[in-house]
Amino acid sequence: MARRLFKICIALVLLALIAVGSGFGWGYAQFTRPGLGAMDRDLILAKGQGLRDIAIQLADAGVISGSLVFRLGVRLGGWSRDLKAGEFRFPAKTSMRGVVRILRQGKTIVRRVTIPEGLSSAMVVALLRRTEGLRGEIVQNAGGPGEGTLLPETYHFSHGDERAQLVARMTAAMDKTVAELWRGRAKGLPLKSPWDAVILASIVEKETSLRAERARVAGVFINRLRLGMRLQSDPTVVFGLTGGGQPLGRPLRRADLDLATPYNTYRIDGLPLGPIANPGRAALRAVLHPTIGKDLYFVADGSGGHAFAATFAEHKRNVKRWRRLKAKGAK
Q: Does 202 fall in a domain?
A: yes
Residues 136, 82 within the same domain: no
Q: Among residues 219, 217, 202, which one has the least CA distance to residue 271? A: 202
Q: Does 86 fall in a domain?
A: yes
pTM: 0.83
Whole-number pLDDT of residue 17: 42
Residues 81, 141 within the same domain: no
Residues 153, 261 within the same domain: yes
Q: Does 58 fall in a domain?
A: yes
Q: Does 304 fall in a domain?
A: no
Q: Among residues 231, 229, 297, which one has the least CA distance to residue 264? A: 231
Residues 226, 80 within the same domain: no
State the chain's maximal CA–CA distance in angstroms: 126
Q: Does 60 fall in a domain?
A: yes
Residues 172, 80 within the same domain: no
Residues 246, 282 within the same domain: yes
Residues 42, 147 within the same domain: no
Q: What torsion, rounded to 10 degrees, do the Cα atoms 32, 35, 39, 40 define?
A: -40
Among 49, 77, 109, identify where a domain stops. 109
Q: Are strands 154-157 and 297-300 parallel, antiparallel or unpaired?
A: unpaired
Per-residue model confidence as pLDDT tens for the chain (331 residues):
655 555 555 544 444 444 444 445 666 777 888 877 778 999 999 988 999 999 999 999 999 988 899 899 999 999 989 999 999 999 999 999 999 999 999 889 999 999 999 999 999 999 999 999 999 998 755 567 999 999 999 999 999 999 999 999 999 999 999 999 999 999 999 999 999 999 999 999 999 989 999 999 999 999 999 999 999 999 999 999 999 888 898 999 999 999 999 999 999 999 999 999 999 999 999 999 999 999 999 999 988 899 999 999 999 999 999 988 887 765 5
Domain of 252, in residue numbers:
121-293
User: What does the alpha-carbon distance between residue 165 and residue 120 come to, in Å, rounded to a whole number?
Assistant: 19
DSSP conformation class of 78: T
Q: Does 19 fall in a domain?
A: no
User: What does the alpha-carbon distance between residue 122 and residue 78 come to, in Å, rounded to a whole number?
Assistant: 49
Q: Does 315 fall in a domain?
A: no
DSSP conformation class of 154: E
Residues 277, 154 within the same domain: yes
H/E element holding 224?
helix 214-227
CB-based contacts of 280: which residues, under 8 Å, 6+ apart? 117, 118, 151, 152, 153, 205
Whole-number pLDDT of residue 29: 76
Among 109, 133, 160, identify where a domain stops. 109
Residues 241, 279 within the same domain: yes
User: What does the alpha-carbon distance between residue 96 and residue 73 come to, in Å, rounded to a whole number?
Assistant: 8
Residues 264, 98 contacting (CB under 8 angstroms)? no
Residues 146, 223 within the same domain: yes
- List 45's β-bridge partners, or say none: 86
Q: Does 63 fall in a domain?
A: yes
User: What does the alpha-carbon distance between residue 56 and residue 86 come to, in Å, rounded to a whole number?
Assistant: 16
Domain containing residue 104: CATH number: 3.30.1490.480
3-state helix, strand and coil shares in percent for the chain, rounded to the nearest 5: 50, 10, 40
Residues 148, 281 within the same domain: yes
User: What does the alpha-carbon distance between residue 19 and residue 38 come to, in Å, rounded to a whole number?
Assistant: 33
Question: How many domains, in total, are found in the chain?
Answer: 2
Residues 182, 228 within the same domain: yes
Among 109, 131, 160, identify where a domain stops. 109
Q: How many CB atoms lie within 10 A of CB 170?
A: 22
